Amino acid sequence: MDGSLGFNTFEKQDKILVGMSGGVDSSVTVRILQEQGFSVQGAVIRFSDAHDGAVEQAQAAAKALCVPLHIIDAKEDFEREVVVPFCESYCDGRTPNPCIVCNPLVKFRLLARKANELGCSFLATGHYARVEQCPDGFYRLCAPESAARDQTYMLYRLPQDILARLVLPLGEFEKEDVREIARDIELPCADVPDSMEICFIPDGDYAGFIRQRGYTPKAGRFLGPRGEDLGPHAGVDHYTVGQRKGLGIAAGRPLFVKAILPDGNIQLAESGEEYSSRLTLSDIATPDGKPLPDGEYRVKVRSAAQAVKCRFAGGMPGSGRGVVTFPEPVRAPAPGQSAVFYRSGIVLGGGFIETAE
């Protein structure tokens, strides 16, 4: 590869603000946009004290790519909109996905505000997804070239005013292509592994993080498949639906977390019993702001899951609620996660899972 990417999307080149983290994806996004002829500036968001390393990495990447970098302090917004709901949700026995909440309420809102201040018409990030304007005039997220890297699930709640100015160059690339570009231009992040942890809990100890902040998650007992008492558990913040490892019980056979009950008890099930055929959803969002129509869709119930066939039926008009049924049961959909609806690889909406049966 000679460093010339030969990739073009826009007829009119303009000023663009790229959300940078110092990682390979956002850094290569900068390079691609430079090759397209955009006037590129970068912004890194300091969401919490745990993000100081990311700020330093973004500064190093911006220097290597010769782009100005703006640091956005988001600690108060992030604490209010993401961290507090995350802790409260876990204490209530749910499994939240903080990125899904952060993207519309903090990350992209602050990037858009900074872009407006700088006179940048467009925003860009290193997410693996695409944005297209559909025949009805609305912009929608679409699946990327790399099915293995698809991040549309994480972005499904982005509103129309963000989608209309969002540029996602990596939607056309495979991950190894991105790393190859980074190696060709000698970026230090070219072969740095992707982080798999929640950004504000880099050690992965969710329960420790929650308890250090003064929360007291619900206590209770493990209930076996036939309702038998299998002893106390460590607190609902230690478990999620579908979990098998780390239960700390000796039942003589593999057991899974089937449900975390409102009273704090945890219902266990044997292998094969952790499947659900019906979900109820709340706070359903669509890219066009209209109610999600009843009908047949494909749906993902977690970020890494395959999209499967389902039928959606909405609740009362304006309620933001609905019911999903599956012709084939799905494994361990967890309350607090999202169900995201697709047709032909296009995101048409999604909502938060309330119950699974």
What is the CA angle 222-236-83, rounded to 5?
170
According to the model, what pLDDT value does residue 175 have? Answer: 93
User: In the annotation, is 199 catalytic?
Assistant: yes
Do residues 32 and 65 share a domain? yes
Q: Are 234 and 331 part of one and the same domain? A: no
Within-domain flag for 205: no
The tally of domains found in the chain comes to: 3
| 204 is a domain residue | no
Whether 9 is covered by a domain: the verdict is no
With vertex at residue 215, the alpha carbon angle to CA 210 and CA 219, rounded to the nearest 5 degrees, is 95
Are both 48 and 143 inside the same structural domain?
yes
Kindly state whether residues 254 and 296 are assigned to the same domain. Answer: no
CB 74 within 8 A of CB 80: no
pLDDT recorded at residue 164: 97
Judge contact between 190 and 179, C-beta under 8 A: yes
The SS3 of residue 269 is strand
β-strand partners of 260: 266
The boundaries of the domain holding residue 139 are 15-184
Q: Which residue has the tokens 């297209």?
A: 132
Tokens of 246: 């780390």
260 and 236 in contact (C-beta within 8 Å)?
yes
> What is the DSSP track for 77-105?
HHIIIIIHHHHHHHHTT----HHHHHIII
What pLDDT is attached to residue 137? 92
Whether 256 and 293 share a structural domain: no
Please say which residue of 253, 270, 287 terminates a domain.
Answer: 270
Residue 71 included in any domain = yes
pTM over 0.85: yes
Q: Are residues 326 and 259 part of one domain? A: no
Q: Are residues 235 and 86 in the same domain?
A: no
Both 113 and 19 in one domain: the answer is: yes
The two tokens of residue 130 are 């695409």
Do 129 and 179 sit in the same domain of this protein?
yes
Whether 112 maps to a domain, the answer reads: yes
Q: Are residues 262 and 347 in the same domain?
A: no
In the annotation, is 120 catalytic? no
Residues in the chain, pLDDT under 70: 1-13
Of 184, 201, 230, the last residue of a domain is: 184
Considering the domain architecture, whether residues 253 and 339 belong to the same structural domain is answered as no
CATH number of the domain within which 241 lies: 2.30.30.280
From the candidates 66, 87, 99, 102, which is the catalytic residue? 102
Please report whether residue 202 resides in a domain: no
Please report the pLDDT score of residue 167 as a whole number: 97
Confidence at residue 13, expressed as pLDDT on a 0 to 100 scale: 62
Question: Do 150 and 225 have their domain in common?
Answer: no
pLDDT of residue 2: 37
**Helix, strand, coil percent content, the chain, rounded in steps of 5:** 30, 30, 45
Torsion angle defined by CA atoms of residues 105, 106, 110 and 112, in that order, rounded to the nearest 10 degrees: -40
Which CATH number covers residue 20?
A: 3.40.50.620
Residue 5 pLDDT: 44
**Distance, C-alpha 257 to centroid of its chain:** 23
CATH number of 327's domain? 2.40.30.10
| φ, ψ (nearest 5 deg) of residue 329 | -55, 150
Does residue 48 fall inside a structural domain? Answer: yes
Is residue 131 in a domain?
yes
